[in-house]
Amino acid sequence: MDLTQPDPVDVALRVLLTEPSYAAQTLITTARMLEMDAARPMTAAAREHAMDIAVDTILSTLPEAVNLDSVKRVYGALPPLAPTGTRGEYALRLRQAAKDLG
């Protein structure tokens, strides 16, 4: 019976490779915020408010370089706002964008 402990570096790499990126986590958190009022109309102000909360929650404690890179990736992955649509519909599009980011 082998009772050796796994290499901590291997464990850390496994976690990094299986969890969503910080940018994807930020998009998912933004989607969650928008889903709280899913039936309300989607607006740029609502998106920015939800993103501010998500960025503060996910990225605020990270090193500045990681934070800035993640924010850049988030804005690059944002789906365009439709002239009509609900926050819930946009949240679905954000979740897809998060999957695409990995």
Q: Could you read off the pLDDT of 26-81 as tens digits, one per residue?
A: 999 999 999 999 999 999 999 999 999 999 999 999 999 999 999 999 999 999 99
Helix or strand run (H / E) with residue 93: helix 87-101
The pLDDT confidence band at residue 94, using thresholds 50, 70 and 90, is: very high
One-letter amino acid of 40: R
68: which DSSP letter? H
Task: Tell me the average pLDDT across 22-27.
Answer: 96
Instruction: Pick the more confident residue, 88 or 20.
Output: 88
Angle at 81 between CA 40 and CA 35, to 5 degrees: 35
**pLDDT in the model for residue 15:** 63
Asked if residue 12 has pLDDT above 90, the reply is no
